[in-house]
Each structure stands twice: as C-alpha cells, then as structure tokens.
Amino acid sequence: MITLCGIPLSNYYNKVKLALLEKGIPFTEEYVKTHSHDEAVLSCTPLGKVPFIKTPQGPLCESQAIAEYLEAAYPDTPRLMPADAYEAAKVRELITYVELHLELVARELYAEAFFGGQVSDGTKKRVARVLPENIAAFKRLAKFGPYLAGDRFTLADCAGWVSLPLVALATKAIYGEDLLAAGGVDWKPYAKLIGERPHALRVAADRKADQERSLGKR
C-alpha cells in the first residue's frame, strides 16, 4: 500500500491526496514536516520537501512525478490524464503554468501574506511585475470548460484547485488586490465547483483540522 507523507497544510500534498482519492487508490498518511533533516526522511526526499510517497518499490518525491506514477501504476482506476498524447501534454502544460508560473512566483509572498513574516519591497515589486504577465498567459491556456483542460476533471484540476486560491489570497493580502481576478481569471466559481466534489471536501476538511491543531499548539 502507498503511504502519503507530508502535512495537510501543503498544497502539493493535497494535490497528490486529491489524485489518490479521485483514483480510488488505497493509501495511508504519515505526518512529516517539510525541510526535515532526519536521515530517514532525506533518504526518501533529498531536499526534505513534502510530499513524498512510500511504495512497495521504494520512495518517490516531487508531486508531479508522484501524480504521473499513480497514472502509470494504476491504469485500471479512473484516469486523470487523457489517453490522447496531445491532450495529455496540454494537461501537463496547464500544470506547469499553475505551479511554475503562478504559484511559485506568488510563493515569494507567503511569508508575509500567511505566516506573519516580512517580505522585502524588492520581492514585492518583482512579483507585482512578473505575476500579471504570467496570469495573462495562463488565461490564454485555461479553458474553464468547466475544468481547466476542458469538460473533464484531470490532474490539472488537482493542481489548480489547491494552488489558484493561494495565488489570489496572497496577492490580496500584499497588494490589496486579487491579481488573478484583476487579470480576468474568474477562479472562484471554478474553486467552488471542484471544492464540492466529495474527495475535495475531505481534503479541505483534513486541511482545516490540521490548521486548527497547529493554531492550538501556539
């Protein structure tokens, strides 16, 4: 059986968790904090990042590598990637835009937006310069028909649902404006659509419970 390791507060952990649930793959969860220096963790994820999984064949890290593994290793479960090679590539393209060109850029704001830290003015100016251009590019690719890649739920939605709200919330907190919405990306109805799926409801509930536990320890 697969063991999913990480923290329910992580959007990338929840991307993999949602994929596992949507595909109906049995798994257990193991709480592992990010950036651990424990050798047992580093042997599975050399940078100490989460999520990672433990499989009968060995460990695997990086959320997209894990998602692709799940598709290949469990072909008889519901498919989250199109069978057509081009359409599958378009899903991967969307995931790259969500995670590399939107979330990773906005992530530089998270320390101040979500965790009470501070972000330099230079970083804020750089993100404010880069992110709108990337949002405009993403808007050209995303179909929202009603899902990111078209009329069916795919791995792009596992990535989009956990990350797009973070981009919006972080920019709203730092700049006083949701840059996604300002760029014409109407993400809220989409997030609501995905969020009403039974498995997404479970992911959201588990994340909320973990957040409340974390706050209670302070």
pLDDT in tens, the chain (218 residues): 999 999 999 999 999 999 999 999 999 999 999 999 999 999 999 999 999 999 999 999 999 999 999 999 999 999 999 999 999 999 999 999 999 999 999 999 999 999 999 999 999 999 999 999 999 999 999 999 999 999 999 999 999 999 999 999 999 999 999 999 999 999 999 999 999 999 999 999 999 999 888 776 65
Burial of 75 (0-12, 13-18, 19+ CB in 10 A): exposed
The boundaries of every CATH 3.40.30.10 domain in the chain are 2-73
CA 74/CA 84 separation, integer angstroms: 17
Count helices and strands in the chain by DSSP H and E runs: 11, 4
CATH top-level class for 85-216? mainly alpha
pLDDT of residue 217: 60
CA 113/CA 118 separation, integer angstroms: 8
Contact 148, 156 (CB under 8 A): yes
Amino acid found at 144: F
DSSP 16-35: HHHHHHHHT--EEEEE--TT
CA 87/CA 82 separation, integer angstroms: 6
CATH architecture of 2-73: 3-Layer(aba) Sandwich (3.40)
The phi and psi torsions of 22 (rounded to 5 degrees) equal: -65, -35
The boundaries of every CATH 1.20.1050.10 domain in the chain are 85-216
DSSP-based three-state secondary structure for 178: coil
Cis peptide, bond prior to residue 78, ω within 30 of zero: no
Contact 155, 71 (CB under 8 A): yes
pLDDT of residue 176: 98
Residues 106, 108, 109, 110, CA torsion sign: positive
CA 53/CA 175 separation, integer angstroms: 36
pLDDT of residue 212: 87
